[in-house]
Structure 1
C-alpha cells in the first residue's frame, strides 16, 4: 500500500506511521509507539494483532468502507478498530445496525453475568455470620439450586409437580364431571396451597437479606400465587351471615381473586430455563417490541379512521364508531380476520383486501427492517440467554461439588 493512500487517513495508526517514515526514514524514534517492531532496511513493520481483523482494516484503507467481521464478537472488533485509530462511525451503513445491536447485547449480557456471579459469591459467603450457617446453607442450596444434589433435584421435581397439579385442578374445578367430586378437588387445592406456603416460608427463613427477598420478582410471583387463597378464606369468614346483596358483592371479589391463581403458571419459571430465557429476552428487547407495537398502532389508527368515514353512511353498518373500526383494523393487520365486522362498500372491500395482502406478503418476505431486526434480535438474545443460564448452572454445580478445592474455569 502506498504512502499516498495512507496519508489520506492521517489520524489513524498507519497514517501516522506513514507520516513518521516519510519525514525521517533513518530515524527510529516514534516508530515503536506505532508498531511492535520494525525493519527499516526492508521497510517492514510488525503488529501483534489479529491478522483476520487486519484484512477488514486494510480493505478500509483501499475502499474507504469498513465492514464488520462476523467471526469476532462486537467488543473484540471494537478493540481492534480502536487500536488502528478508527472509530465506530467509520463502519459502513450495511453493517452498522447489526454491529450496534450485537455490541449492546454483549455489554448487557456481560453486566448481567458479572452481577449474577457476584450475587452467587455473596450467597456462598454471607451465611458464615448467621445463625446455624451450615443448615441454612444446605437448605438454601436445596431450595435455590435444583441441580446441586439429589435432594435438590427431588425437591425441584416435587415443586414442579405441585404447580402442574394446581393448574390442572384449577381448570377441573370449572368442569362438571360426575366421577370427580368437588371435595376431592378442594382437598387437592388445600394440599397444593400448603406446599406452596411451606416452600415460601422456608425460602423466607433461610434467606440472608429478607428485604431483597421480598423485592425479587420470582418471590413476588410465589406470594401472589398463595395470597388469593388466604384472602378468599378471610373474606368468606368475615361475611358469613350477611345479606344477599353483600354476599353478591363478596362473590365478585372472590371471583377476581380466583383469577389470580393463574399466576401459578409463572412459578414454573424457577425450574424452566426456557421460561427464564423468555423473560430475559422480552426485558432486553423491549425497545424493539415497543417499536413494533408503535408501527401497528399507527397503521390501526389510520386505516380504522378511513374505513369508518367510508362505511358510516351505509345503513346497518357494523362500523358504528372509530373504536369499532380499531378492532377491524387490528384483526386485518394481524391477518386474523374473524369476520365479525367487515366492510360493505366496494371501496372498503378493496381497501381490506389490499391491507390483508400487504400484511400476508410482509410476513412471507420479512423484508422490512423492523420485522427482520426484531426476529433476529429475539432469536439471538433467546439463544444467548439460554447459554448464559446453562453456564451459570454448570458453575453452581461445579462449586457445590468441589467444596474447598481448586476451581477451574474454561
Structure 2
C-alpha cells in the first residue's frame, strides 16, 4: 500500500507531494492497535443488546487519517531539525546540514530512524568526538583537539563512515603520528620476534600446543631454565666446531699418514704433478687426531639435533623454509653428512687411493661446510639482544650497503683508469695495468691503504688526493642512515629491557605482598 505525504515549511503538516511506501506489516500493526482502542469503547455495550448487534457493527471504523497519525513522527522530527542523542548528550541539527556530507552514516538518516517515544535518534558513542564530527557538516572542515587519542579518532571516523582523508592537514599529522608510531613499534616487535605467533589454526593442528612450547624453548632463552641450558649447549657446540676447525689447520696437531707414495701410487703422483699447494698436500697426507674428531662430531650431532627440532616446531609444513637462515642450515646439514660419508668411505690412511675427482669433491664439500657453519653464529647471535640489534641493523640497511658498494665501484671505474693514464709514462710505477688501478682506487677510497700500490708522479698524487676525498664523501652518506637504523633498534631494545625489569619488579613486589601476611602471622 502507498500513501503520499510531505511537509511544508509553513505549518509543518503532511501534504500529498512525496510518495512514502508503507509496508503491510506497518499497516497491520496500526489496524490492530486501532482495534484495541475500539474494543475498549465497545465494552460499554450491554449484554442484552449484544446479540442484536452484528460483528461488523462492533468493528471500529478505521480511516486513512488515523493510520497516518499512528505512523507519523511527532513534534519537530517532521520539520527542519532533529535531535541526536549521543550517550546522553543531545545535539540539535537540521536535516539540511546532515545532507551536506553524502555517503556517511548521518547523511543517510531519515525521519523513520527517529524514536517516536523520545523524539530523537540515539547513538551509544563517546560524545567527546561528536562536536568535531558535526563541525565537518557545519564548516566542511574536520578538526579534532590534539589532546585526543589518534587511534580513537580513526575509530570514530570509521563508525560515522567518514574517510580519514577528510581530516584537516594539522589534525591529520597529529592523528597519524600516533598510528605510525604504533605501526613502527609493531614492526620492530615482529623483527625482534616479540609478537604473538600463535594462531587458532596452528593450535588445531596435530601437537599444536607441543609445537608452540618447543618453538618458545628454542627461540626464547628467557622462557625457562632448560631453554637457558640449551642456549649454553649451543654456544659450547659452536666453540667446539670452530676450535676443531682451527686445530685441524695446524700441521703440528695432525697425525701423519704412514704410506709410501712411490709404491703403486700413480694417482698420488698425478695430483703431485697437478701443482697441489703445500696446504692441500698437508690435508692429503695427514689426518686429524682423535680429540679433534670428537670435538667436530659432538658439534655436528648437536647442530643436527637442533635443526631437526626447529623443523618439528615449525608452524607449517613449508613455513620452516621461508627463513634464509633455515635454508642455510639445511644446506649445511646435507653437505656435512655427505662429507662425513666420504670420510667413512675413504679414511685418512687411504686418501692417496682416491681419484682426483673424489679429492676435489671432498675439498669443495669441506669448503662449503666451513663457510656455512659461520651462519650458526648468526643464529645464536639472534638470541642475544646486543648482537640482535647489530644483525637487524645490517638487515634493515641492505639498501644503503648496496648503495655504498655501488658508489665504490663507480669511483673505481673513474679513478682506476685515471691513475693508470697519469702514471703510464713512468716505468717504475706500480700501476702496471687498469685492473691494478681499480684495486688501488677501492683501497684508497675506503681509506684502508695497504701500501702495495701507490702513485709516484705529481699528477698521480693529485689523483690520489681527489680519490681519498671522494671516498670519504661516498662512505659518509649511507653510513649516516645505517647509524640512524642502529639508534632506532638500540632504543627499542632498551625499552624492551626496561619493560622486563619493570614487570620483574612488579612480580617480586606482588610475591612479597602475598607472603607478608604469613610472615606477620608467624611472627
Which TM-score band applies after superposition, normalised by the shorter structure? 0.5 to 0.7
Give the unaligned 5+ runs of structure 2.
1-96, 101-129, 136-142, 149-163, 256-287, 505-523
Shift of 1:236: 3.9
2:320 paired with 1:245: no
Residue 121 of structure 1 corresponds to which residue in structure 2?
Answer: 198
Residue 215 of structure 2 corresponds to which residue in structure 1?
Answer: 140
What SS class does the counterpart of residue 250 from structure 2 fall into? coil
C-alpha distance in structure 2 between counterparts of 1:148 and 1:394, whole Å: 15
Shift of 1:164: 2.3
Higher RCO (C-alpha under 8 Å, 6+ residues apart)? 1
CA distance 1:87–1:344, shift in 2 (3 Å):
farther
Would you say the 8 A contact 1:289–1:374 is kept in 2? Answer: no
Shift of 1:125: 6.9
Q: Deviations over 1:43-102 (max 9, x none)?
A: xxx962249xxxxxxxxxxxxxxxxxxxxxxxxxxxx998443599x9xxxxxxxxx9x9
CA distance 1:320–1:385, shift in 2 (3 Å):
farther
Q: Deviations over 1:196-234 (max 9, x none)?
A: 111222222333413101332332243344333212123
Residue 425 of structure 2 corresponds to which residue in structure 1?
Answer: 313
Structure (1/2) with the larger helix percentage = 1
Residue 507 of structure 2 corresponds to which residue in structure 1?
Answer: none
The higher radius of gyration belongs to 2
Map 1:382-397 onto structure 2 (within 5 A).
Answer: 382-384=489-491, 386-387=493-494
2:196 paired with 1:85: no
- Identify the range of structure 1 (159-168 vs 247-256) with the bigger mean alpha-carbon deviation: 247-256
Match for 1:327 among 403, 414, 439? Answer: 439
Map 1:173-192 onto structure 2 (within 5 A).
Answer: 173-177=248-252, 182-192=289-299
Residue 335 of structure 2 corresponds to which residue in structure 1?
Answer: 228
Shift of 1:135: 4.5
2:145 paired with 1:48: yes
C-alpha distance in structure 1 between counterparts of 2:424 and 2:443, whole Å: 19
2:219 paired with 1:219: no
Would you say the 8 A contact 1:280–1:385 is kept in 2? Answer: no
What SS class does the counterpart of residue 169 from structure 2 fall into? coil
CA distance 1:388–1:221, shift in 2 (3 Å):
farther
Residue 388 of structure 2 corresponds to which residue in structure 1?
Answer: 276
TM-score (normalizing by structure 2) = 0.50
2:347 paired with 1:347: no
Shift of 1:331: 1.1
Shift of 1:328: 0.4
Shift of 1:168: 2.3
Residue 245 of structure 2 corresponds to which residue in structure 1?
Answer: 170
Would you say the 8 A contact 2:389–2:493 is kept in 1? Answer: yes
What SS class does the counterpart of residue 315 from structure 1 fall into? coil
Shift of 1:286: 2.4
Residue 63 of structure 1 corresponds to which residue in structure 2?
Answer: none
Shift of 1:111: 3.9
C-alpha distance in structure 1 between counterparts of 2:227 and 2:339, whole Å: 32
Shift of 1:264: 2.9
CA distance 1:286–1:120, shift in 2 (3 Å):
same
Give the unaligned 5+ runs of structure 1.
1-27, 37-45, 52-79, 91-99, 398-410
Match for 2:307 among 193, 196, 200? Answer: 200
Root-mean-square deviation (CA, aligned residues, Å) is 4.6
C-alpha distance in structure 2 between counterparts of 1:270 and 1:375, whole Å: 19
CA distance 1:246–1:238, shift in 2 (3 Å):
farther
C-alpha distance in structure 2 between counterparts of 1:204 and 1:182, whole Å: 33
2:221 paired with 1:110: no
Would you say the 8 A contact 1:147–1:393 is kept in 2? Answer: no
Shift of 1:270: 3.9
Shift of 1:170: 1.8
CA distance 1:114–1:173, shift in 2 (3 Å):
closer
Structure (1/2) with the larger strand percentage = 2
C-alpha distance in structure 2 between counterparts of 1:257 and 1:295, whole Å: 30
C-alpha distance in structure 2 between counterparts of 1:383 and 1:208, whole Å: 29
C-alpha distance in structure 2 between counterparts of 1:379 and 1:303, whole Å: 32
C-alpha distance in structure 1 between counterparts of 2:231 and 2:392, whole Å: 21
